[in-house]
């Protein structure tokens, strides 16, 4: 947020907020322990709004559910912003002192009347107005979001639309108020913080930051790396398509199954001169590889740190011996460097971490292993060993002294753009991907245990749609998108509205869902539009085995 890629608040603040907006997040199932904090907040009297195309198990805890159409979140957010402005509920003092670009923002949202927003989003104007007023009037309000915001072709704009609302109302930089992106994996935050994003060095410095580079050169002994941002994943696949990228070293990722438009992705991976896969599993991607480096599961077979959604760096520790020839990721990388002519030795995890601390002066310098142990993790920024870490960020925006306030936070006006994969007569149903409580991503980790909640993967659709198509619960159908087709049984799901269907990405061996999804991606973040695919559902020959009961819904 505002130059730092991390959420603004500690989880515990949700327990003391007055209003919680879960936007594009089914945290009840996807971030269950964060949702424990939300539930304590509700127990303490907070109100909650759920903004989600589905009436999820999260929405069932909400005071009101805004069931918008997939891909219309910006229109909704802009309408909320406009309503706050027109109702005179803008936090004037904050906007004037701590932000820039308000006038442009106000002009941009002006056309998004409640009525127009209702037309675009499908959410009743009165409910949009209710949320706008509740959010603006609350003493402490948070917006929490997940992949429903970020898996779109213009995902960064979605995030800006939400940040604008926080700036408009001053719901940032104060305890209990904040912007809380919930990360999908245990070290998404840490990976980005360590520079595993194209434009950043470890510690959040830009790759073009000469001052930082000088510091890194002193430690690394080299400044011989690009000054321009590299490619993100979606760009890499495009470079493969153009034949410009001929080799890929893939560590702990399963793009053959997890990429949108998977058949195409697999074809590109097969066409590489060299594919190296380093993973704890023999994944579908590893099956395509020329070389496979078996790695340890570092969270229980080696040492290191991970960083969670509240920027808390915590240690992972070895609990069990790794199997066979598996080696820690850092050891594999160092051994490879040695074979390539640079003897990096075999540093311990703590030595690697201390090197990072010596260059990441703002965020990590104060986080020794000893302190991480003693304090149960530390939230960055933590610039020195006498600094306790930073649970709540951007309080500076509230400082009286302009010098202390620092750089104001900019409004970023954004426009609603419909999903790339448009609905039409040929593909009239919106397919979105969703996640379940007991499963995880492409299922390679969560497939291993015997969950009593597990049900066969199915195309979940609304009962009315099924009736219109003459499809019975449990009947196998053919699901066709503009990119591919799969067969799957149908499950009637009361959380869906007419015109909306869902698959999970968890059970690719049953339904290879990413054959259908769209690889149109966001130029700012590189994320593909997993959340909005246009499909049609075709009846198969009438051989069916109806399921005995409606779909159980976990997490109620």
Of residues 265-324, which lie at the interface with another protein (CB under 8 A)? 280-281, 297, 299-301, 306-310, 312, 314-323
* Per-position DSSP letters for 352-391, written without gaps between them: HHHHHHHH-TTTTTT--HHHHHHHT-EESP--STT----S
Q: Which backbone phi and psi does 478 adopt, to 5 degrees?
A: -105, 130
DSSP code of 50? E
Distance in Å, CB of 461 to another protein, minimum: 24
Q: How far apart are CA 456 and CA 272, in angstroms?
A: 35
Q: How far are the Cα atoms of 36, 138, 433 from residue 453, in angstroms, in the given order?
A: 20, 38, 19
Task: Kindly tell me which residue out of 183, 215, 357, 483 binds another protein, with binding defined by CB under 8 A.
Answer: 183
Site for another protein in 517-556 (CB under 8 A): 554-556
- Contact with another protein (CB under 8 A) among 80, 98, 159, 182: 182
* Least distance in angstroms from the C-beta of 502 to another protein: 19
Q: 97, 133, 137, 387: which one contacts another protein (CB under 8 A)? A: 387
Per CB under 8 A, contacts with another protein among 192-221 are 204
Find the shortest distance in angstroms from Cβ 59 to another protein. 14
Rounded-to-integer distance, Cα 376 and Cα 373, Å: 6
Beta carbon nearer to another protein, 226 or 376 = 376
- Out of 20, 24, 34, 250, name the contact with another protein by CB under 8 A: 34
Kindly tell me which of 441 and 544 has the beta carbon lying closer to another protein: 441
Q: Kindly state the smallest distance separating residue 39's Cβ from another protein, in Å.
A: 5
Bridging pattern class, strands 304-307 and 312-316: antiparallel
User: How many whole angstroms separate alpha carbon 396 and alpha carbon 68?
Assistant: 35
Q: Which listed range, 83-91, 154-162, 393-401, 540-548, lies at the site for another protein (CB under 8 A)? A: 393-401
Pick from 452, 470, 542, 548 the residue near another protein by CB under 8 A. 452
Are the CB atoms for 51 and 24 separated by under 8 Å?
yes
Please report, as residue ranges, which positions from 227 to 246 form the binding site for another protein (by CB under 8 A): none
Instruction: Decide if residue 391 touches another protein (CB under 8 A).
Output: yes
**Smallest distance, another protein to C-beta of residue 375, A:** 4
Q: Is residue 451 part of the contact set for another protein (CB under 8 A)?
A: yes
Of 123-152, which residues contact another protein (CB under 8 A)? none
Listed in sequence order, the DSSP H helices in 170-273 are 188-193, 210-220, 233-241, 255-258, 262-270
- How many chain residues bind another protein (CB under 8 A)? 98
Shortest distance, position 266 Cβ to another protein, whole Å: 23
Query: The dihedral of CA 118, 30, 373, 298: what is its sign?
Result: negative
Shortest distance, position 388 Cβ to another protein, whole Å? 5
Tell me if the bond preceding 381 is cis, omega within 30° of 0. Answer: yes
Smallest distance from another protein to CB 393, Å: 6
Task: Return the residues of window 40-99 that contact another protein according to CB under 8 A.
Answer: 40, 43-44, 61
Binding piece for another protein, criterion CB under 8 A, among 74-82, 95-103, 179-187, 349-357: 179-187
User: Binding to another protein by residue 4, rule CB under 8 A?
Assistant: yes
Asked whether position 13 contacts another protein by CB under 8 A, the answer is: yes
Could you give the CA distance from residue 556 to residue 551 in angstroms, rounded to a whole number?
Answer: 13
- Is 186 a binding residue for another protein by CB under 8 A? The answer is yes
555: left (phi over 0), alpha (psi -120 to 50) or beta: left
- Residue with tokens 């056309």, as numbered in its chain: 111
Whole-number Å distance between alpha carbons of 505 and 514: 7
Least distance CB 328 / another protein (angstroms): 14
| Alpha-carbon Rg for the chain in angstroms | 24
**Per-residue binder mask for another protein (CB under 8 A), 156-175, x = binder:** -----------------x-x
Nearest-approach distance from CB 283 to another protein, in angstroms? 12
Based on the shown chain and the rule CB under 8 A, indicate whether residue 358 belongs to the binding site for another protein: no
Six-digit token string for 518? 């769209």
Q: What is the Cα 60 distance to its own chain's centre?
A: 22
* Nearest-angstrom CA–CA distance, 547 and 456: 10
Instruction: Enumerate residues 6+ apart whose C-beta is below 8 A from 159.
Output: 145, 149, 150, 181
**Which of 21, 22, 39, 414 forms a contact with another protein (CB under 8 A)?**
39
Query: Which range, of 24-32, 108-116, 467-475, 488-496, touches another protein by CB under 8 A?
Result: 24-32
d(CA 320, CA 303): 11
């Amino acid at each position: 947020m505002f130059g730092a890629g991390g959420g603004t608040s500690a989880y515990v603040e949700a327990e003391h907020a007055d209003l919680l907006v879960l936007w594009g997040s089914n945290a009840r199932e996807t971030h269950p322990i964060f949702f424990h904090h939300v539930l304590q907040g509700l127990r303490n009297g907070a109100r909650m709004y759920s903004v989600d195309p589905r009436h999820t198990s999260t929405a069932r805890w909400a005071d009101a559910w805004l069931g918008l159409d997939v891909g219309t979140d910006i229109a909704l957010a802009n309408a909320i912003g406009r309503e706050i402005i027109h109702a005179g509920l803008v936090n004037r003092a904050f906007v004037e002192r701590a932000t820039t670009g308000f006038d442009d923002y106000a002009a941009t949202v002006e056309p998004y009347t409640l009525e127009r927003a209702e037309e675009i989003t499908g959410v009743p104007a009165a409910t949009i107005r209710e949320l706008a007023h509740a959010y603006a009037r609350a003493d402490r309000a948070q917006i929490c979001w997940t992949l429903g915001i970020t898996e779109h072709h213009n995902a960064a704009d979605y995030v800006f639309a939400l940040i604008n609302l926080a700036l408009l109302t001053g719901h940032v930089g104060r305890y209990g108020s904040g912007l809380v992106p919930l990360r999908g994996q245990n070290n998404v935050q840490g990976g980005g913080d360590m520079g595993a994003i194209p434009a950043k060095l470890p510690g959040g410095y830009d790759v073009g930051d000469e001052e930082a580079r000088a510091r890194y050169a002193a430690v690394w002994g080299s400044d011989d790396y690009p000054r321009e941002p590299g490619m993100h994943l979606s760009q890499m696949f495009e470079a493969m398509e153009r034949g410009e990228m001929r080799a890929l070293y893939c560590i702990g990722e399963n793009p053959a199954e997890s990429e949108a438009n998977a058949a195409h992705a697999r074809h590109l991976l097969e066409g590489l001169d060299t594919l190296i896969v380093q993973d704890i599993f023999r994944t579908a991607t590893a099956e395509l590889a020329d070389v496979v480096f078996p790695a340890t599961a570092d969270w229980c077979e080696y040492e290191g740190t991970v960083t969670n959604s509240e920027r808390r760096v915590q240690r992972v520790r070895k609990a069990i011996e790794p199997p066979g020839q598996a080696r820690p990721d850092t050891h594999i990388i160092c051994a490879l460097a040695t074979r390539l002519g640079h003897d990096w030795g075999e540093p311990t995890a703590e030595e690697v971490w201390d090197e990072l601390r010596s260059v990441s002066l703002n965020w990590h310098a104060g986080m020794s292993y000893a302190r991480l142990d003693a304090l149960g993790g530390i939230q960055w920024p933590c610039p020195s060993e006498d600094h306790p870490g930073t649970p709540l960020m951007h309080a500076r925006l509230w400082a009286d002294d302009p010098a202390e306030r620092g750089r104001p936070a900019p409004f970023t006006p954004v426009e609603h753009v419909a999903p790339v994969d448009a609905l039409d007569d040929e593909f009239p149903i919106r397919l979105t991907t969703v996640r379940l409580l007991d499963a995880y991503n492409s299922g390679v980790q969560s497939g291993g245990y015997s969950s009593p909640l597990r049900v066969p993967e199915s195309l979940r659709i609304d009962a009315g749609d099924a009736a219109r198509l003459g499809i019975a619960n449990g009947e196998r159908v053919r699901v066709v998108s503009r990119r591919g087709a799969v067969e799957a049984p149908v499950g009637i799901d009361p959380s869906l509205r007419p015109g909306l269907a869902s698959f999970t990405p968890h059970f690719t061996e049953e339904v290879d869902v990413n054959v259908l999804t769209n690889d149109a991606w966001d130029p700012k973040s590189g994320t593909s539009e997993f959340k909005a695919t246009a499909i049609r559902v075709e009846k198969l020959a009438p051989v069916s085995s109806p399921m005995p009961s409606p779909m159980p819904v976990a997490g109620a």
